[in-house]
Amino acid sequence: MKHRIVVLGAGYAGAFAAGNLARRLSPADTEITVVNAVPDFVERMRLHQVAIGQDVAFRKLADVFAGTGVQLRLARVTSVDPERRTVAASGEDGDGELAYDTLLYALGSSVAHHDVPGVAEYAFDVTGRSSALRLRDRLAGLSEGGTVLVVGEGLTGIETTTEFAESRPDLSVTLVARGELGAWLAPKARRHLRDAFDRLGITVNEHTAIEAVEPTRALVADGTSMPADVIVWSAGFAVHPIAAASGLEVAETGQIVVDRTMRSVSHPDVYAAGDCAYAIGENGRPLPMSCASAGFTNMQATAAIIARLTGSAVPTTGLKYHGNHISLGRRDAIFQMVDGNVRSKSWYLGGRTAARLKSGVLKGAGWGIAHPTFGMPKRKRRLATAPDRAGASAAA
């Protein structure tokens, strides 16, 4: 009987992890299944480009995993039962349960509504492919002079606002910030950001809290309203409540609490990677939800799974957040380095050089997903003992 590894989600964390596991573990001993709701690998960092109408190609997961031995099941996860070691899923490949011996939970995150009335009904977002395509259709229908209001001054809000303003200069684009735009950047980088907003003709409303969203306006805490043809909500991320409902130990955020090896502190045969993992970085703080964190956590999780299954010492990979890379349209960007306490360093890289660097990062991530068996060892590692249903991953 093979040891069954089930990976939930095929985003940056899940797809990379599945490829790494297939590359390094012997198929004679292991069976790897990826469960994902859609048939494509969706590059979330490009979804604001999709929304504004740019041509962004998505790779088919069936092609990504072809020849790797990874089984792909197209279905949406509906529940996890860590006591029975089963996952319930429903979708294109049918409804039913999957049993596992080791589970890697990498379902990612979606937009956080923060219980603001009207956001779910009337606002758009760019956290998923379907929502980005819905927004694309709406923006395509706007004529010259149409108004777009982006709520949220984080990385997603900044990239979305600048991409829209650059691609559609005929639209009036406004960013609403609860605080000061770019307050966390170093002074020179902050000036670069504001210069980019000025160059693109973006209006910024700082220190403004949105308390409700209606079809054609956002209501501000001070009682005023901001009219807009389209309201884009980018005020943070939230994880799906499946983990909390399953009985796994979760943080207040709903993220799965893991140890240094990305192993659930409550269920040792469950690992988490990406936005759904409550992982503490080397600075003693939780890692932020980001593509970079997805990379750190999936590498640590797969290294730990492989080591424990093959009877090796569990290595530790770096969990240090190095900085933020922010696109400001296609020809400008900011790369802001941070120190160990996630405070911006004085040095930053901006302009076309930073934009080319960001483009290289995106292409590199996409290439890595598309070539999961690159560097495959001639001899894959066998499990330390014969797999059994007691769960080899539960061994120390």
Q: Where in the chain is the domain with CATH 3.50.50.60?
A: 3-109+239-321, 113-233
- The helix (H) or strand (E) run that includes residue 40 is strand 40-41
* Residue written as token pair 């590692």: 381
- pLDDT 10s per residue in the chain (396 long)? 899 999 999 999 999 999 999 999 999 999 999 999 999 999 999 999 999 999 998 899 999 999 999 999 999 999 999 999 999 999 988 889 999 999 999 999 999 999 999 999 999 999 999 999 999 999 999 999 999 999 999 999 999 999 999 999 999 999 999 999 999 999 999 999 999 999 999 999 999 999 999 999 999 999 999 999 999 999 999 999 999 999 999 999 999 999 999 999 999 999 999 999 999 998 899 998 988 888 899 999 999 999 999 999 999 988 887 888 999 999 999 999 888 777 888 889 999 999 998 888 888 877 777 776 565 565 678 898 655 444 444 444
Q: Residue 382's pLDDT is what?
A: 86
| C-alpha distances in Å from residue 174, one per residue of 103, 128, 219 | 43, 22, 15
Per-state percent for the chain, helix, strand, coil, to nearest 5: 30, 25, 45
| Residue the block writes with tokens 């160990």 | 340
Whole-number pLDDT of residue 374: 60
Q: Specify the pLDDT at position 388.
A: 46
Inter-CA distances, 294 with 90, 183, 297, 353, 376, Å: 25, 25, 5, 25, 22
- In whole angstroms, how far apart are CA 335 and each of 165, 193, 349? 20, 11, 5
Q: Does domain 113-233 have CATH number 3.50.50.60?
A: yes
How many CB atoms within 10 Å of residue 68? 19
CA-closest candidate to residue 197, choices 227, 153, 232: 153
- Long-range contacts, stretch 216-225, CB < 8 angstroms, 24+ apart: 218/149, 218/151, 218/176
Quick: pLDDT tens for 191-203. 999 999 999 999 9
Residue 95 CB neighbour total at 10 angstroms = 11
Per-residue pLDDT of 155-203, as tens digits, reads 999 999 999 999 999 999 999 999 999 999 999 999 999 999 999 999 9
b/e code 3-35 from CB counts within 10 Å (16+ = b): bbbbbbbbbbbbbbbbbbbbbbbeeebbbbbbb
The sign of the dihedral angle between the CA atoms of 163, 287, 352, 42 is: negative
In this prediction, residue 376 carries a pLDDT of 54
Looking at residue 92, what is its pLDDT? 84
Residue 250 CA to residue 255 CA, distance in Å, equals 5
pLDDT for the residue numbered 373:
59
In the CATH scheme, what is the homologous superfamily, with its name and number, of domain 3-109+239-321?
Answer: FAD/NAD(P)-binding domain (3.50.50.60)
Residue 380: the pLDDT is: 77
Q: How far apart are CA 265 and CA 17, in angstroms?
A: 20
pLDDT of residue 390: 41
Check residue 14 and give its pLDDT: 95
